Amino acid sequence: MPAPELQKENKVFGGWVKRFKHESTACSCPMTFSVFFPPQAAGRKVPVVYYLAGLTCNDENFMQKAGAQRRAAELGLALVAPDTSPRGHNVAGEAESWDFGVGAGFYLNAKVDKWKAWQMYEYITVELPEVLRSFSSLDIDNASIMGHSMGGHGALVLGLRNPGKYKSISAFAPITHPMIEPWGQKAFSGYLGEDRETWKQYDATEVVKAFGGPERKILIDQGSKDDFLKEHLNADDFVRAAKANPCIKLSYRLQEGYDHSYYTIATFVDDHLNLHAEELFKR
């Protein structure tokens, strides 16, 4: 597999944020991703925390807005942020709305032929880790996953469905029950078709019900002033299902006065990185 091409780099907290581009087989187009290499990566392999972004975002939003590099540098964690969808296919209607198409891949493998390039589940779980193996400083087999909103949905689903790949899971304001809310119904029907049974594999509430172990820690931070809380995020169903599963150790925190923005992520991101470091550095 050809090494990804460096697009730009910025030094921060003694480490480097680097943006790369490569040809994706899964998505049949060039894809970009950003990596924060902490200072420790200059001398040894470091664990990886994947961050999945939300609707309308790309691989740079988290790196530029969350302020996560300071704590990641202290802990010795690499941060990997992929893009949120394929780009450049010029599929009819791909840019007509902000919650479907470009920037809105929902971290699933599309089944509807029109959207056949939207294979973000395969891209994140299979292809991207192999691309990252070209960096000798990244311990790709020692990883955790986190995300925000649509990316929180992705982190929960990918993390729970692939417990051998991710040692811990966290999310900010995740879409937890997409089968019953407008964003998820639009995405699932568009990408997967109308067979609702096929939707369940990408619905975090359904996935956590069926999760059989090993024991997994999950941290969720949700702002009480989030404009999307009641209509789109549906945290209650997921919390009930997770607490009923003895394999799940869930910490769900409703943060008073906080909203859906990166201000909230920046406030609590250190706690999420601390959780992941605790699991990733276990011996």
Which residues are the active-site residues? 149, 226, 260
Structure-token match 């990244």, residue found? 138
Pairing state of beta strands 248-255 and 169-172?
A: unpaired
At residue 151's C-alpha, the angle toward residues 58 and 46, to 5°, is 80
On the 0-12 / 13-18 / 19+ scale of CB atoms within 10 A, 72 is buried
Burial 177-202 (b: 16+ CB within 10 A, else e): bbbebebbebbbebbbeeeeeebeeb
| Residue 92 identity | A
What residues contact residue 265 under an 8 Å CB cut-off, 6+ apart? Answer: 62, 65, 66, 148, 172
DSSP state of 113: G
Torsion of CA 273, 275, 277, 282, to 10 degrees: -170
